[in-house]
């Protein structure tokens, strides 16, 4: 074959190559997992696994196993719930077409500790001048809380106030409204935001408008609320900043790399 013939074929070859690459990158990934009780190492039947990107829900079988197909490549967050266990979240990164096999643990001992703590008669309140440091993962939360920009709640404040859910926790904050009804339950909306303009939720440093409003208030280590674009920090600014931003730091989120 002559050089001229090869040059004529080159565009077609490039097109085929691009098509193959595109097909490979779009191949869905699969997660196969087993959910166990961390305290007993026994499998958990009927545990729910939720895909944050799509809202898909699967349940574990009688031996704690599940399979989720059709996952997009990249970073995906999964939520795990089971009766008698605290909720858990895991972030996994998938390559195109990858079949990942993982074991996941839910800690029943933590749920027992929470139950015992709620049943203990509290002591008389004592004045506390500062919360103990929360570790590397909450450095940014601690830094912003010291600036006074925005409104903040720590786990200690949430725990001592007895809030039932996230909307209860923010109900008394300035510039924050709680809308109830319409079949949606109660939702957070900033008082200055237009009708139908709802805040952006950031959970453990990542946007998560699907599960952010549903996170159990007892799973929150730190809460930041910014009511409009003027007080939203630069790291959370975006196209929805004008509707406000709710930043949630959970107790079980991914650790911040030093």
* pLDDT value of residue 11: 58
* pLDDT value of residue 24: 52
Model-wide pTM > 0.75: no
Q: Over the stretch 18-34, which tens digit does the pLDDT of each residue have?
A: 454 455 557 899 999 99
- All structural domains of the chain: 29-110 (2.60.40.1120), 135-250 (2.170.130.10)
Please give the structure tokens belonging to residue 133: 């440091």
Higher pLDDT, 1 or 244: 244
* pLDDT value of residue 16: 46
Higher pLDDT, 25 or 200: 200
Cβ-Cβ contacts under 8 Å for 228 (sequence gap 6 or more)? 175, 190, 192, 193, 241, 242, 244
Q: Over the stretch 73-122, which tens digit does the pLDDT of each residue have?
A: 888 889 999 988 888 888 888 889 999 999 999 887 755 555 545 554 55
């Amino acid at each position: 074959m002559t050089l001229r013939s090869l040059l004529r074929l080159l565009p077609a070859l490039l097109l085929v190559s691009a098509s193959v690459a595109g097909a490979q990158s779009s191949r869905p990934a699969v997660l196969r997992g087993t959910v166990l009780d961390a305290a007993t190492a026994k499998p958990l039947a009927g545990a729910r696994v939720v895909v944050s990107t799509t809202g898909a829900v699967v349940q574990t079988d009688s031996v704690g196993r599940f399979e989720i197909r059709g996952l997009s490549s990249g970073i995906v967050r999964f939520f795990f719930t089971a009766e008698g266990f605290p909720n858990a979240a895991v972030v996994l990164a998938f390559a195109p077409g990858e079949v990942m096999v993982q074991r996941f643990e839910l800690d029943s001992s933590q749920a027992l500790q929470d139950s015992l703590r709620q049943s203990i008669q509290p002591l008389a309140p004592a004045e506390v001048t500062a919360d103990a440091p929360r570790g590397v993962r909450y450095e940014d939360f601690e830094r912003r809380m010291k600036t006074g920009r925005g409104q903040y709640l720590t786990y200690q404040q949430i725990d001592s106030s007895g809030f039932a859910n996230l909307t209860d926790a923010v109900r008394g904050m300035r510039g924050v409204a709680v809308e109830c009804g319409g079949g949606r339950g109660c939702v957070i909306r900033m008082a200055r935001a237009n009708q139908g303009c709802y805040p952006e939720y950031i959970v453990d440093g990542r946007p998560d408008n699907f599960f952010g409003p549903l996170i159990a208030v007892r799973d929150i280590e730190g809460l930041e609320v910014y009511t409009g674009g003027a007080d939203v920090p630069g790291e959370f600014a975006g196209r929805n900043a004008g509707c406000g931003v709710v930043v949630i730091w959970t107790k079980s989120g991914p650790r911040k790399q030093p």
